[in-house]
Amino acid sequence: MNSKVLLATSGLFLLSAPSVTVAQQTDLFARDRNVAVTQRGRPELEALGIRAGTMMVYPKLQGDVGYDSYVRFTPSVDVESDWSRHALRATAEAGFTRYTDLTDENSETWKVGASGRVDVQRETQLTGGADYARLFEPRTASNTPQAIADPIEYDARSGYVGVAHAFNRLRATGRFDIVELDYDDGRSIGGAVVDQDDRDQTTYETLARLDYAISPATALFGRVSWNDRQFDDAGSLRTPNRDSSGFNAIVGANFELSNLVRGEAGVGYLQQEYDNPLYGELSGLSANARLEYFASPLLTLGLTGDRSVGDSGIVGTAGFLNTTLQVTADYELRRNIILGARLGRTVEEFDTIDRENARVFGTLRATYLMNRRFGLTAAYDYESRESDGLNAINDFTANRVLVSLVAQY
């Protein structure tokens, strides 16, 4: 049974994903000598859930209050299998945000999803899943239109299938993903329609990865992913079609050095080539890293980094190179009091226009787990953006304070 601990998610960096993780096939690829603070089991504080045959149901309600006069309620329910082999999970979530003054910022979001794993045999697993969500684009997003009256609303649909097989010192993994984004038209401050049809798109991505264990604690890997991005709109003089295809190839190592450090790091090359010659191509160094340092049983430090290609919704450009670096710290002050912090920086380098955005973000968080039913989180978020170049956009600094109460069964 998966542990369920009362940790608020809004504005934080404890992420939930609908996909089911592929189980470790052999000890050669296990990286479990230590457990991070946020992943540690706390049986006396975990939700009991409601048994429904061989399934467990976990209902939850989160309420947030922000200092800039808004409230948000997020009811959700997870249904998970309690089987010795195979796994199945379904989730549903809704969000309702209301502002006391800025009523144009009010929003309703929802998300449903399901995922599963079939254990064909001890060394072979098949996985699959699908999500459907109704979301809003943050006003701080670099590719959202400027000077709009309301945040842009869109539908996101995704699905994937995967396979993993381990034999001797090798482990092979394959996965195919499809993501569809469908944007609603926006409205300018003057009331005019801001067309977003040219942003509707479908992305297909295929990934192949091979790991070779040179010891029980270290494995070398090679990973290649190919993508094809197709936009529904044929384009116009204002916004030529942005169809493209590309790849990202990385080689690196997955490791666990004693009980102190574990993670994965790799470098390689990426390229995204656009069908329209006006956009040319984006290419360069590719990198990905995820490291954890267990300074003590009560303190976990983390480092993540990534360089990838993003799609742009801005007139005159099709995409940008996105480079992100982030450090995190989680400290268990008491068994039921968890402190956390993160600090990161993202740089966006746009093609065909003279613009570079640099964003700095950070969070301080304190979570008090009252019991297995209730938890309380207080968080402070910081975000700033500096934009340089002839086509620079507005700079901003945002400070947010959030208090969240979570109730679950």
Measured from the Cβ of residue 156, the count of other Cβ atoms closer than 10 Å reads: 15
Q: Is 240:280 a contact under the CB 8 Å cutoff? A: no
Q: Is 47:56 a contact under the CB 8 Å cutoff? A: no
Q: Domain residue spans in the chain?
A: 27-52+114-364
- Provide the pLDDT for residue 32: 85
User: For the chain, what's the residue count?
Assistant: 409
How far is residue 367's CA from residue 72's CA, in Å, rounded to a whole number?
18
Give Dmax over CA atoms of the chain in angstroms. Answer: 65
Tell me: the pLDDT tens digits for 115-156? Answer: 999 999 888 999 999 999 999 988 777 777 777 878 889 999
How far is residue 18's CA from residue 11's CA, in Å, rounded to a whole number?
19
| Per-residue pLDDT band at 7 (split at 50, 70, 90) | low
Tell me: the pLDDT tens digits for 74-99? Answer: 999 999 999 999 999 999 999 999 88
Query: 13-17, 238-242, 387-391: lowest mean pLDDT where?
Result: 13-17
Tell me: the pLDDT tens digits for 214-262? Answer: 999 999 999 999 999 998 877 665 667 889 999 999 999 999 988 899 9
- Provide the pLDDT for residue 11: 39
| Per-residue pLDDT band at 5 (split at 50, 70, 90) | low
- The CA-to-CA distance between both ends of the chain, in Å, stands at 15
How far is residue 203's CA from residue 238's CA, in Å, rounded to a whole number?
23
Phi-psi category of residue 86: left, alpha or beta, with phi > 0 → left and psi -120 to 50 → alpha: left
| Per-residue pLDDT band at 6 (split at 50, 70, 90) | low
Share above pLDDT 70 across residues of the chain, in percent, rounded to a whole number: 91
Distances (CA, A) of 129 to 1, 90, 136, 178, 218: 19, 9, 23, 11, 30
How far is residue 186's CA from residue 168's CA, in Å, rounded to a whole number?
55
- Provide the pLDDT for residue 114: 98
Q: Is 154:179 a contact under the CB 8 Å cutoff? A: no
How far is residue 11's CA from residue 65's CA, in Å, rounded to a whole number?
12
Here the tokens at position 273 are 């080539």
Query: 31-35, 130-134, 154-158, 330-334: lowest mean pLDDT where?
Result: 31-35
How far is residue 269's CA from residue 110's CA, in Å, rounded to a whole number?
36
295: CB partners within 8 A, 6+ apart: 260, 301
| Per-residue pLDDT band at 8 (split at 50, 70, 90) | low
Q: 152-156 contacts: CB < 8 A, separation 24 or more?
A: 152/183, 152/184, 152/186, 152/196, 153/107, 153/183, 153/184, 154/181, 154/182, 154/183, 154/184, 154/196, 155/180, 155/181, 155/182, 156/131, 156/132, 156/180, 156/181, 156/182
Mean confidence (pLDDT) of the chain: 89
| Chain Cα centroid distance, residue 73 | 21
Tell me: the pLDDT tens digits for 40-75? Answer: 999 999 999 999 999 999 999 999 998 877 899 999
| pLDDT for 34 beyond 60 | yes
How far is residue 205's CA from residue 22's CA, in Å, rounded to a whole number?
19
- Provide the pLDDT for residue 1: 42
Q: Is 21:390 a contact under the CB 8 Å cutoff? A: no
Q: Is 242:230 a contact under the CB 8 Å cutoff? A: no
Task: Identify the residue whose tokens are 């399934």.
Answer: 55
Task: Read off the DSSP letter of residue 104.
Answer: G
At residue 105, what are phi and psi to the nearest 5 degrees?
-90, -5
Mean predicted confidence (pLDDT) in 376-382: 96
Share above pLDDT 90 across residues of the chain, in percent, rounded to a whole number: 66
Closest CA to 291 of 310, 277, 305, 273: 305
| Per-residue pLDDT band at 12 (split at 50, 70, 90) | very low
- Provide the pLDDT for residue 235: 65
Task: Report, in this order, helix, strand and coil percent for the chain, each rounded to 5.
Answer: 5, 65, 30
Query: 258-262, 298-302, 382-386: lowest mean pLDDT where?
Result: 258-262
Mean predicted confidence (pLDDT) in 155-159: 97
Q: Is 6:406 a contact under the CB 8 Å cutoff? A: yes
